[in-house]
Chain A
Amino acid sequence: MNRTVKKMLVVLDCCVGCHACEIACRQEHDLTHETGSKWCRVMTVKPRRVRDELHLDYFPTLCVHCDDPLCLKSCPVEAITKREDGLVLVNGQKCNGCRLCISACPYGAMSFNEVTKAAGKCDFCLGRVEYGIEPSCVQHCLGGALRYVSPEELNEVTKGKHTAFFEKVCYASSQWKLVL
């Protein structure tokens, strides 16, 4: 019960910067314009020259569910928990809106909801996954950069590629060496 085995694989090569994941996430979690809250973002790494070749990259960012989450440590009311399967979850009911977790998170993944006055972040669409449906960002990703895969598949696919592993998220690229 309550265990998700699959992991998020982010293939940086494949991101086309279309922002479908962002809007899919906002629709799924009801993060309207008024909430000012975003759980998933795509960053653009503007064109630059590397070894005389021009590169333009897009970088989808979401909560990596840290092995040792700083948001959890910073929360004074224990609204943030790390589950056995590695997922870091925020309990909106317990949250007192102090925003300490937002400044604690090194990845900018935590975001404050101006409507509910509580912090929130990516939960890998737990509600969907429990019904056997992929997370919304994964389903709608045009480039196929976001994939929700089993650990075995993940190891198989990332063989020989540059990777950055977290407990639940793996960034991978065939072009760029990833430094944590």
Chain B
Amino acid sequence: MSDMVCKKCGTSWIVPKKLKSILSKARSSQPERYNELLSLCPKCRPQAFGERTIGKDLKKVPRSWRIPRRRVEERKPVKVDPRSGATVYQSQCYICNSGCDALVFEKDGKVIKVEGDPSSPITKGTLCCKGLASKEQLYHKDRILYPMKRIGQRGEGRWQRISWDEALDTAAGRFKEIEKKFGPDSIVLATGTKRGTWVDYVMRFANAWRKQWTSTGWAQCAIPRLSAGGMVLGGPAAECPDFSKTTCILVWGANPPNNWPHQAVHLMDAWSRGVPMIVVDPELRETSSKADIWLQLRPGTDAALGLGFINVIISEGLYDKEFVEKWCIGFDELKARAGEYDLDRVEKITWVPKAKIREAARLYATSKPACMMHSVGIEQNADTISSCLTTVMLPALTGNLDIPGGNLYPMFQGMRGRDDLDYTLKHTITPEREKNILGSTQYPLLSSNECVLYPTAHNSTLWKTMLDGKPYPMKGIYIHGTHLAVNVANTQQVTAALRGLEFIVVVDILMNPTAELADILLPAATWLERDEVACHIQASYNAIQIGQAVVRQGECRSNYAIMNDLAKRLGVENMFPPESDEPFFDFMLGKTGLTWKILKEKGGHTFPDVFKKYEKNGFNTPSKKVELANSKMKRLGVDPLPIHREPSESPISTPELAKDYPLIITTGGRLSMYRHSEGRNIEILRELMPHPLMSIHPATAQGLGILDGDEVVVETPRGSMEAWANLTEGIHPGVVQLPSHWSGMNNVNLVMDNERCAPLIGSTQLRCQLCRVKRKK
């Protein structure tokens, strides 16, 4: 027995014998850790070597599977598969935007199989069901294989095959005509989820052409998170959790097995080691079913729950005092704000028992290192910036920034990304042009140059402009890889707006209801048919990956080639030659010393890990510190601290409406077999989920006379849609969950409101509206 003085809080404590014996076992392997642990009192000591310091009432974590779960074989990249004689290409799967390493087996000019790459540290050899079924998409009967022009009425579906030259000349000619007649802002470019680097290239094209562009998802996905991360942490650290060395996992509004497969691999590896996991999710799903603490919150109240977390962490003194003192500013302001959210209030707002919130916040804050993962679930409510601010602050308050097992800053060391001005040409956006971008005054963090990446036209404002011609006429659209007729809220408005346009060009892989509206249809290449160089945080925080063209179906062309060729015909400067993508790839790699040829030989490149990068140059914020009360929002004249804002429709904010529409509808629970609107035409995937299932509590269903598997009608003040009931106890009786992106009458966007958007960033409130449900007669 000996007296020790805690290095962190200064109180003296006695080292129990038992602890000494536990720790001495680990002494030989990790002497520094041993000393560190002995110098801290039980309250300050991170959980280690199976000893738990707090939360005795916590559900025991009995699992721990002791073998390394998956032995990544050091399988050298084989050029020829000995079994089938097929040529093997190392590539990067872009069936979604995760960018998993994949092997493509090609024989006699046909892709025979797609597999995970067992030598990849990113995926550990795995690939999800969508990626594995990529071949089905490549050879699908609905592929658009040749440029086509519409010969019947719009949407009638009658097409005539034309040559690339004719298609691009027609498109360029018509666009020039519209520009001359209706002014430079009468044309807009639209794109969807990032799939490699080309989606950002649409934005470069738009900037070079001096047009505005819109991304269907940005305001609802990624930009709120990245904005909050940029303003507070000076970078997307909150997007890069390091599961490999963590001792506690916090998952907030994400379901990685379904929408971020390679992160799920690392998450489940940590989980099966016995690392405790906290999940915030309104429904019991793939990830929340594994949680040690599952916080089932009322949809749309993430900011309140986050403030509750911060309240516990600050008021109980669990934050990393040293880090906060040295590296954070605005702590006192945050402390005052969090003080307003005592757990009684938070429990009332979020419906989560306060004991559970306290337990979860304590577990997260006292485990070190701990990592946090958040995703799109927190980005579709009444105040998305607030909810994202609370989550990105958690790793800063607990000192988990840029340490192994915490949240990491990406390091691409010279590879150009979407924050590079030479690439995005953001600096060419003049104040006049900026003023004309739709939504720039109302949603500065999305549509003005204040945007963390580059400004994008606000979705619902755009549809309105198309319909009523204010403030200027909008007559043409270039749609590159997005399914507007399904993807965005208020489908009726969107399709009416598109139908009213003079000229539509659609670039896509498969025929779909959006493509049917086109005047000119251009065939794009699937990921198996195009080269790609990409580094992005969705895949990895420190690797450059490549994709390789393996085969070519019909006359499809790479996305870069299509845009470059069109730009050439439009006389747009600052683009690359359409003949080859290589000069562009070399430009992207410019400062790394690598070239496309080298990468193709090597199959990718990984930069070495560097931790605590902030110690050298500080954080990438104006004050070079973590800005808990950030200067950007102060400069914009708004409250820089997170706040709970009640959804514009909820039993609390609109009790009258709730009498008619008693259930909260939350949409967009992702499915593992589909990516957004993609994949439903691939039969082997469709077999897994033939129709959309609405999650509803059995008690609620019983009251409505609904049985499991019944067809139901969901009504909101905007309209109605249909789905099938899935009775599950894993959802609150007052909430229903509907999957998004189904087409026709099963499209949940038919009933979603897009008028009332989140302040500053314009997200539609897809996760928290009101509805009523009845059995279909």
CA distance A65 to B487 in the complex (A): 46
Asked whether A54 lies within 8 Å of B284 as measured between CB atoms, the reply is yes
Instruction: Among A19, A27, A133, A144, point to the contact of B688 (Cβ < 8 A).
Output: A19
Please state if A47 and B290 are interface contacts (CB–CB under 8 Å): no
Within 8 A of A (CB), among B19-74: 62-63, 65-67, 69-70
- In whole angstroms, what is the CA distance A18 to B268 when docked? 12
* B728 in contact with A18 (CB, 8 Å): no
Interface flag for A142 (CB, 8 Å): yes
Question: Does B118 interact with chain A (Cβ within 8 Å)?
Answer: yes
Contact A16 B126 (CB under 8 A): no
* A104 CA / B570 CA spacing, docked (Å): 68
Instruction: Name the B residues within 8 Å of A58 (CB-CB).
Output: 286
Any A CB within 8 A of the CB of B287: yes
Shortest distance from the beta carbon of A154 to any chain B beta carbon, whole Å: 9
Q: Are B673 and A19 in contact (CB under 8 A)?
A: yes
Contacts of B128 on A, CB cut-off 8 Å?
Answer: 18, 20, 140, 142
Enumerate chain A residues within 8 angstroms of B126, measured Cβ to Cβ: 20, 139-142
A18 / chain B contacts, CB cutoff of 8 Å: 128-129, 257-258, 261, 264, 286, 672
Indicate which residue in A16, A23, A24, A54 contacts B286 across the interface (CB closer than 8 Å): A16
A residues contacting the other copy or chain, number (CB 8 A): 44
A175 in the interface (beta carbon within 8 A): yes
Of the stretches B108-116, B306-314, B499-507, the one at the interface is B108-116
Chain A residues in 8 Å Cβ range of B265: 142, 144
Residue in B closest to A147 when the chains form the complex, CB atoms: B69
Q: Mark B119-152, 1 if CB is under 8 A from A, else 0.
A: 0000001111100110100000000000000000
Chain A contact surface mostly: mixed
Tell me which residues across on chain A come within 8 A of B133, comparing CB atoms. 23, 27
Q: Which residue of B lies closest to A16 (CB)?
A: B257
Q: Hey, which chain A residues are within 8 Å of B687, CB to CB? A: 33
Q: Is the CB of A16 within 8 A of B66?
A: no
Bound CA–CA A32/B140 (angstroms): 13
Chain A residues within 8 Å of B65, by CB: 11, 13-14, 144, 157
Q: Are A16 and B62 in contact (CB under 8 A)?
A: no
Interface contacts (Cβ under 8 Å), in number, total: 134
B125 in complex: contacting residue of A22, A27, A57, A140, CB < 8 Å: A140
Query: Contacts of A48 on B, CB cut-off 8 Å?
Result: 729
Is B269 part of the binding interface, using a Cβ–Cβ cutoff of 8 Å?
A: yes
Interface check B82, CB cutoff 8 A:
yes
State in angstroms the CA–CA spacing of A131 and B83 once bound together: 8
How many Å from the CB of B539 to the closest CB on chain A?
15
Q: Tell me which residues from 1 to 44 in chain A have a Cβ below 8 Å from any Cβ of chain B.
A: 11, 13-14, 16-20, 22-24, 26-28, 32-33
For A14, give the chain B residue with the smallest CB separation: B272
Which residue from B127, B132, B268, B286 sits with its C-beta under 8 Å from A144? Answer: B268
Tell me the bound Cα distance from A41 to B453 in angstroms: 43
Cβ contact within 8 Å between A56 and B258: no
**Does the CB pair A27–B114 fall under 8 Å?**
yes
- The answer to whether A56 and B257 have CB atoms under 8 Å apart is no
Q: For the complex, is B685 an interface residue (Cβ under 8 Å from A)? A: yes
Asked if B577 is at the interface (CB within 8 A of a chain A CB), the reply is: no
Q: Is B684 an interface residue (CB 8 A)?
A: yes
A127 interface contact, C-beta 8 A:
yes
Interface hits, A117-151 → B, CB 8 Å:
127-128, 131, 133-134, 136, 139-144, 147, 149
Of A16, A28, A47, the contact of B730 (CB 8 Å cutoff):
A47
> Which one, B63, B83, B729, contacts A47 given CB within 8 A?
B729
Interface presence of A94 (CB below 8 A): no
Of A23, A55, A144, A156, which is within 8 A of B685 by CB?
A23
With A20-B129, A139-B125, A156-B66 in contact, do A49 and B673 touch (Cβ < 8 Å)?
A: no
A153 proximal to B (CB < 8 A) = yes
Closest B residue to A130 by beta carbon equals B83
* Docked complex: A163-180 residues within 8 A CB-CB of B: 174-175
Pair B730/A54 contact, Cβ less than 8 Å: yes
User: Contacts A139-B116, A156-B67 hold; do A23 and B132 have CB atoms under 8 A apart?
Assistant: yes
Indicate whether B755 reaches chain A with its CB closer than 8 angstroms.
Answer: no
Q: Are B684 and A131 interface neighbours, CB within 8 A?
A: no
Chain A residues proximal to chain B, CB less than 8 Å: 11, 13-14, 16-20, 22-24, 26-28, 32-33, 46-49, 54-58, 127-128, 131, 133-134, 136, 139-144, 147, 149, 153, 156-157, 174-175
A27-B132, A142-B268, A174-B63 given; 6 more Cβ-contact pairs under 8 Å:
A23-B132, A27-B113, A141-B126, A142-B261, A144-B69, A156-B67
